[in-house]
Amino acid sequence: MKQMYHSNDTCVLLSNYYVVWCPKRRRKMGGGRRTTRLEELIRETAPELACEMVALDMMPDHLHLVVSATPHWVPNHIVGRFTGKTSRIVRQEFPCLRRMPSLGTRSYFWSTAGHVSAATIRRSIEAQRPRG
């Protein structure tokens, strides 16, 4: 995937961010429909935040997300919008999750990824998978 530079009247930039977040108490999200729906919601939310998805990998108890974003949104607002929207909608659609006050924690990992290729980022995420 070729990454596009963001530009406006006064600047051109490429800001890649690597985000990891976990469900409350690191509960397993399960698989199947819940995971698929969560991925759909993340992909829907990215354009709303003027972000481009570079990579997404969902583990049973956390997820890795790499986005290319403009500086219009500060990092904590980007993560808050992703986690808040997905949590609200997934809990509405799956009754077994309604008893949880929130799907995600307020904690997350955020790092700049610099100008690296999408393939390099994917290899890094794949290396995080548990072996076994």
Number of domains the chain is built from:
1
Res 2 pLDDT > 60: no
Tokens (6 digits) for 118: 């999408």
109 contacts 20 by C-beta, under 8 angstroms: yes
pLDDT of residue 30: 62
CA 124, 25, 60, 70 dihedral sign is negative
Buried/exposed code over 76-101 (b: 16+ C-beta within 10 A; e: otherwise)? eebbebbbebbbebbbeebeebeeee
Of residues 42 and 35, more confidently modeled? 42
90 assigned to some structural domain: yes
Is residue 82 situated within a structural domain? yes
Q: Kindly state the average pLDDT of the residues 119-129.
A: 74
Return the axis-axis angle of helices 33-48 and 75-93, rounded to nearest 10°.
Answer: 140
Quick: pLDDT tens for 47-101.
Answer: 888 888 888 888 777 888 888 887 777 888 888 888 888 888 888 888 777 776 6
Instruction: Tell whether 29 is covered by a domain.
Output: yes
96 lies in some domain: yes
Q: What is the pLDDT of residue 117?
A: 65
| pLDDT tens profile 41-54 | 889 988 888 888 88
Looking up residue 96, the CATH number of its domain turns out to be 3.30.70.1290
In a domain, 108, yes or no: yes
Residue 3's pLDDT is: 60
Half-sphere exposure for 127 (CA within 13 Å, toward CB)? 6
Domain that holds residue 109: 11-126
In a domain, residue 66? The reply is yes
3 occurs within a structural domain: no
Contacting residues for 90 by C-beta, under 8 A, at least 6 apart: 34, 37, 38, 41, 97, 103
Average pLDDT of the residues in 119-125: 73
In a domain, 99, yes or no: yes
